[in-house]
Structure 1
């Protein structure tokens, strides 16, 4: 069941694939992305590639942890950015 999709249409869905993979979309958006993937072979291929890359990275990094001093510095930077955002 192949339908023609415009490149703008596909670009919108390709942007949402990352959020779809991370389960960060609401039910309606998940349904829309899944429907698009069911009909669009090129987008489905990209989705499969992204899913594979994500799985490989996850397996490769699952047992490694950042050194505690690095984790601490990152947390300080995140808090600084949060403060700047809330002050704006």
Structure 2
């Protein structure tokens, strides 16, 4: 994996892309950030492969759990764990 730049000083590296992939999948980014991540995915096969896996996983979970809603406390606990894991992975 690598860094890709259209202009000097403007790049989105693999760690940032993978860290923010769910924001991208959920449409929770600014248009500028969305463009940067999309550009990186177009240029980086390993990140695109991980994005495709995450996209498939998200679709599978949605299909499997569509009729059930998790309690608020459980959702909060899951999000806290995901954040902790991401922080540990970035260290």
Q: Which of 2, 5, 8 is equivalent to 1:5? A: 2
Give the superposed CA RMSD. 2.2
Q: How many residues align?
A: 66
1:18-33 equivalences in 2 (<5 Å):
18-33=22-37
Higher helix share: 1
Give TM-score, length-normalised by structure 1: 0.66
Query: Which of the two has higher C-alpha Rg?
Result: 1
1:65 shift after superposition:
3.2
Indicate yes or no: 2:65 matched with 1:61: yes
**Structure 1 unaligned residues grouped into runs of 5+:** 78-88
**Structure 2 unaligned residues grouped into runs of 5+:** 4-11, 77-91
